[in-house]
Structure 1
Amino acid sequence: MTVQTALVLGANTIITQSNCSVAFSTTDQLIFGQQLGLIWLPLDEHRKAACSPAYLHEPKDWAQLDDNNNPNVWQLDLTKLFDTQAVVSLQLIAYVYHDPSLNLPAIELNNICLTLNNGAIKYDFTANERHIKAAIVLEIYRRNGQFKCRALGESSTQGLASVEHRVGISLDTRPPDTHALIQAAQQQQRTQPNNESRPPRHVQPGETWTGTAFAIDPYHLLTCYHVIESAAMIGIRQQGQPDREAQVVLSDIGSDSAIIRVSEPLPSYLPLAQRCSDNLGETITTLGFPLSGLSSQLQVTQGCISGLTGFGDDIRYMQFTAPIQPGSSGSPLLLPTGEVVGMVTSSLVHEHAQNMNYAVKFQLLSALLASAGIGLGDLSDSPHTKVPPLTTPQLSKQSRSALWLVGCQG
């Protein structure tokens, strides 16, 4: 017979099984996945996000749902999470969904009952004030080789905004209906001809178009395949510099990437990121030449990395929120260190999908450079590789001389 441990606020107890089950219920007549959301948020020793969280709409290999149609029971692999992600603690956050575009009565979080390992541990969270929108209800940590859990009750009437600021990550709290609409749009996109299978672009003689490129060493620049596709002539332009003609060195339709070369040395270039890490939620800055017919000035926008894959979980790409426009293709995604973590390629156009933009990851850009005989070792002397995090104005000032407007003519 299993003895049940009932936790009170602030109390802790040992979790005897690292493969842990967690079940939820509520007396509020609210339904998980419809009105109520859950986030498993891993934290590092500095109480910052250690890796991307697990959501009801986005489980992880260490946090799986028993049944997607009944998202009330989770299976956690604590050993896998803590041993591979430098995790010190795992917080469970319950929150109510809110869509400001819908005229719905406000939903409040009042009660959450959770049980671990088939009832061995039980905790009833009850909000102690009105209008609660989110609450941290449980924390799991490891002490002296044992996993333990602590009952928490840190609540907020402002939703998850305060949590985002504290842990330094952007949390995806959109309602499930929004995710369903976006997934439908992505599915429709996947049924369209993709880059690898679509016919070549047909252009009229003399037709012109523009994009963006950034220098990666004194003679080479990276841009998108679709920017230089079918171009009979390619030129690059930068304010204060002479126009230059460029030649295609290597292009890859699969990653929508291309290397172009100029004959005269370029004044500045950007370093590619050197290591793979979970950058979900990381602030990024883009610099490029969108809508160059309206202005040929360099434009700077800022956002964050909002997803680690592209359409249909395509691992070649990442998703980001910085606003982009036609002409932004080929713009670098810059980390606060000045390193290029991706290159802007496309955007998902859908009424329910604002700022769902995509960039090819730096790993593929590195592979393309290696195929052209341009190794990362050749770039290690870049003046930007070892700097502390920069402000957006500092990043713009440091990087702008490596950005070029690409002009193509058919």
Structure 2
Amino acid sequence: MTELVPGQRVELHEPVVELRLSGARLGDLSRSLGGLLIALDQHKRIAPDFAPIDIETRELRPGAGYGPNGEICLDLAAVPPQVERLIFVLYLAYGGPAQSLREFERLSLSVGQYTVTMDLAGRDESAVIFAEVYRRGQGWRLCSNGQGFVGGMGALLSALNIDFAIPARAHRDVGPSPGHHDHGRDHRPPPGTSYTGSGFAVDGRHILTNAHVVEGMSKFDVASDQLNAAAELVFVDPRNDIALLRVPDRPLPVACSFRDVFDIHLGEDVIVLGFPLQGLLGSGPQATTGNVSALCGIGNDTSVMQFSAPIASGNSGGPILDQSGQVVGLVYSSLNKERLRDGGINAENINFGVKGAVIRAFLATAGIEPRVAPSGPPRGRADIVREARAFIYRIRCEA
């Protein structure tokens, strides 16, 4: 491998090149690192046939795919002719353990036979242009860039004079992040690890919660006002962050009811129940209220909705109820407002829930037919919460 110094430009002779990121601290801090491959046309605008690739979601584009170990594979001959330049960008993605890009210390990007290395230990930037691949005549060239931006991705995009919505990272309030895989890394919590989440009964034996609540754990206990029992994990959908627990020894006295129609309305009032901050706020369930503030999630993900009811660590897996007490969603995640503030962004109560339609499709796959009912007239919040306490559960997980 030939290492390039910042600003060096070389010809790329291979028809297919792989972009592979490496670093000693990458495994520990990868949840804090965002990456984009941005394609620009001859007018230095985002190429219409090649939307920016978020390296976490592993999207495909013409001429761009992924190898077996997560590396980006560029077939330069198949890249759309409108694309003049491909820019590889790294930025601090709030929601992970790192506070700054300097914590990564040193990162290297291999592009074909070349390596671009960046020493971040003494740098204060939160976004960098790592490298560029661009057309030159009939071929392609690689440039080692290294330009950093203290103002983060907003400053970087402003410098490039392009407008693009940065893929935000959802901060899961309990447990590890679902769907995130570091190759060769063991995600199982250390023996003796324990934490709590929330869940709710969907029939006489099963309790629904988040996949990230139960990920890597081996022992589960569920508790409500009426029941304490051991449970077993029977079904997991990590893509939609849903998991199903079964209580084998005792029947669950009450199950929830789902709204019979899938429509969710922007601005609709909702009630969220769960067991946040156990040991700090007491052992009983907590109820908060808000409204549906968006009908999709990060990156226009239509499987989730955004709501404003406050949540905290431990709310994951709890139900989202409409004003007649029917389940319309499952608490999923929230944006980490402290890290957003560190990046100069002010945001409050930006929370996400899996939509009822996705939940019911999951349950159908598991062979469960939950109770459904039409949404009736609005009821008093106290009555709804009183009724829901019979089917919500605190879930204790142990490794």
| Superposition TM-score, scaled by structure 1 size | 0.51
Q: Give how far 1:298 is off.
A: 0.6
Name the counterpart of 1:354: 348
Cα deviation, 1:338-395, whole Å, max 9, x if unaligned, reads 111110010011231210000001111101100111124xx24xxx756432111111
1:186–1:311 CA contact under 8 A, matched in 2: no
2:260–2:375 contact (8 Å) kept in structure 1: no
Say if 1:237 and 1:282 are closer, same or farther in 2 by CA, change over 3 A: same
Partners of 2:201 and 2:190 lie apart in 1 by 29
Distance 2:177 2:393 in 1: 27
Question: Which of 252, 260, 277 lines up with 2:245 in the alignment?
Answer: 260
2:286 aligns with one of 296, 299, 304: 299
Whichever residue aligns with residue 187 of structure 1, its letter is P
8 A contact 2:326–2:375 mirrored in 1: no
TM-aligned CA deviation for residue 197 of structure 1 = 3.5
1:195 aligns with 2:175: no
Q: Distance in 2 between matches of 1:310 and 1:316?
A: 8
Indicate conservation of the 8 Å contact 2:363/2:369, yes or no: yes
**Please, which of 224, 233, 236 is the counterpart of residue 210 of structure 2?**
224
Equivalent residues of 2:188, 2:217 under 8 A apart = no
Instruction: Find the residue that maps to 1:187 and give its secondary structure.
Output: coil
In the other structure, the counterpart of 2:142 is none
Asked if 1:211 is matched to 2:197, the reply is yes
Does 2:268 match 1:288? no
CA spacing shift, 1:354–1:186, aligned 2, 3 Å? farther
Separation in 2, partners of 1:225, 1:370: 17
**C-alpha separation in 2, matches of 1:319 and 1:304:** 9
SS in structure 2 at match of 1:365: helix
- Residues matched between the structures, number: 224
1:397 correspondence with 2:377? no
Shift of 1:185: 8.7
1:355-374 maps to which residues of 2 (within 5 A)? 355-374=349-368
Partner of 1:244: 229
Distance in 1 (CA, whole Å) between partners of 2:303 and 2:267 is 18
Cα distance change of structure 1 residues 257 and 281 upon mapping to structure 2, 3 Å threshold: same
Check 1:232–1:194 CA distance in 2 against 1; reply closer, same or farther (3 A cut).
closer
Query: How far apart, in 2, do the equivalents of 1:221 and 1:185 lie?
Result: 36
1:198 is displaced (CA, Å) by 2.7
Contact residue 211 and residue 237 of structure 2 kept, 8 A: yes
Asked if 1 retains the 8 angstrom alpha-carbon contact of 2:296 and 2:304, the reply is yes
Aligned 1:6-405 pairs, distance under 5 A: 187-189=167-169, 195-199=178-182, 201-239=187-225, 241-263=226-248, 264-294=250-280, 295-349=282-336, 350-351=340-341, 352-376=346-370, 379-380=371-372, 387-405=376-394
CA drift of 1:330 comes to 0.5
* CA distance 1:386–1:353, shift in 2 (3 Å): closer
**C-alpha spacing 1:278/1:210, structure 2 compared with 1 (3 Å):** closer
Answer whether contact 2:224 2:389 (CA < 8 A) is retained.
no
Q: Aligned AA for 2:286?
A: Q
Residue aligned with 1:393, SS: helix
Q: How many angstroms apart in 1 are the aligned matches of 2:178 and 2:398?
A: 21
**CA distance 1:314–1:266, change in 2 (3 Å):** same
Q: Residues 346 and 248 of structure 1: is their aligned pair in 2 closer, same or farther, counting only changes over 3 Å?
A: same
Deviations 1:257-287 (A, max 9, x none): 0111112111211112221224110000011
Code of the aligned partner of 2:394? L
In structure 2, C-alpha distance between the alignment counterparts of 1:299 and 1:358, rounded to whole Å = 18
Distance 1:194 1:397 in 2: 32
Q: Per the alignment, do residues 188 and 276 of structure 1 end up closer, same or farther by CA in structure 2, a change over 3 Å counting?
A: closer
The CA distance in 2 between the partners of 1:229 and 1:312, in whole Å, is: 24
Specify the alignment match of 1:407 in structure 2: 396
Distance in structure 1 (CA, Å) of the matches to 2:229 and 2:381: 28
CA apart distance, 1:399: 1.0
Q: How much has 1:233 moved relative to structure 2?
A: 0.2
Q: Deviations over 1:187-237 (max 9, x none)?
A: 2428x9973243463311111000000011111111000001111100101
- Label 1:184 to 1:238 Cα distance change in 2 as closer, same or farther (>3 A): farther
Indicate conservation of the 8 Å contact 2:198/2:315, yes or no.
yes
Per the alignment, do residues 291 and 217 of structure 1 end up closer, same or farther by CA in structure 2, a change over 3 Å counting?
same
Q: Percent identity?
A: 35
State the Cα deviation string for residues 235-260 of structure 1 (Å, max 9, x = none): 10123x34211111211000000111
Question: Which whole-Å CA distance do the structure 1 matches of 2:191 and 2:306 have between them?
Answer: 35
Q: Distance in 2 between matches of 1:332 and 1:237?
A: 15
Q: Deviations over 1:103-135 (max 9, x none)?
A: xxxxxxxxxxxxxxxxxxxxxxxxxxxxxxxxx
The SS at the match of 1:250 is strand
Residue segments in structure 2 that go unaligned for 5+ positions in a row: 1-153, 158-162
**How far apart in 2 are the matches of 1:291 and 1:186?**
30
For the residues of structure 2 that align with 1:222 and 1:314, how far apart are their CA atoms? 21
